[in-house]
Amino acid sequence: MLLANKVAIISGGATGMGRAIALKFAEEGCHVAVADINVPQANETIRGVVERGREGLALECDIASSEAVQAVVDQVMTKFGRINILVNSAGTTAGVAGGSSVAAISEGEWDRIVAINLKGAFLFTRAVVPQMKKQRDGRIINISSLGAVHPPTVSPHYHAAKAGLLGMTYDTARELGPFNIRINAIMPGPIRTPFYDKLIAAMGEAEKEAFFECLGKEAPLQRMGRPEDIAGAALFLASDLSAYVTAAVIPVSGGLPLEAPAAN
Domain regions of the chain by residue span: 7-195+226-251
Share of the chain above pLDDT 90, in %: 81
Is 244 considered catalytic here?
no
Q: Tens digit of pLDDT for each residue in 9-23?
A: 999 999 999 999 999
Q: Tens digit of pLDDT for each residue in 121-137?
A: 999 999 999 999 999 99
What's the rounded mean pLDDT across residues 40-52?
Answer: 98
What's the rounded mean pLDDT across residues 1-13?
Answer: 97
Q: Are 238 and 25 in contact, with CB atoms under 8 Å apart?
A: yes
Is the model's pLDDT at 70 over the cut of 80? yes
Please tell me the distance from the alpha carbon of residue 246 to that of residue 93, in angstroms, as a whole number: 27
CATH topology of domain 7-195+226-251: Rossmann fold (3.40.50)
pLDDT confidence bin for 199, thresholds 50/70/90? confident
| Mean pLDDT score across all residues of the chain | 94
Q: Are 184 and 142 in contact, with CB atoms under 8 Å apart?
A: yes
pLDDT of residue 67: 98
Q: List Cβ neighbours of 107 (8 Å cut-off, separation of 6 or more).
A: none
pLDDT confidence bin for 96, thresholds 50/70/90? low
Is the model's pLDDT at 158 over the cut of 70? yes
Please tell me the distance from the alpha carbon of residue 168 to that of residue 181, in angstroms, as a whole number: 14
Strand-pairing partners, residue 187, are 251
pLDDT confidence bin for 204, thresholds 50/70/90? confident
What's the rounded mean pLDDT across residues 57-80?
Answer: 98
According to DSSP, the β-strands at 249-252 and 181-188 are: parallel
The phi, psi pair for 220, rounded to 5°, reads -55, -30
Q: Are 12 and 90 in contact, with CB atoms under 8 Å apart?
A: yes
Q: Tens digit of pLDDT for each residue in 165-188?
A: 999 999 999 999 999 999 999 999
Q: Are 156 and 105 in contact, with CB atoms under 8 Å apart?
A: yes
pTM reported for the whole predicted model: 0.94
Is the model's pLDDT at 95 over the cut of 60? no
Laid out side by side, the sheet with 85-88 consists of 56-60, 31-36, 7-11, 85-88, 138-143, 181-188, 249-252
pLDDT of residue 202: 80
Is the model's pLDDT at 99 over the cut of 70? no
Is the model's pLDDT at 94 over the cut of 80? no
Category of 256 on φ-ψ map: left (φ > 0), alpha (ψ -120 to 50) or beta: beta
Type of residue numbered 25: F
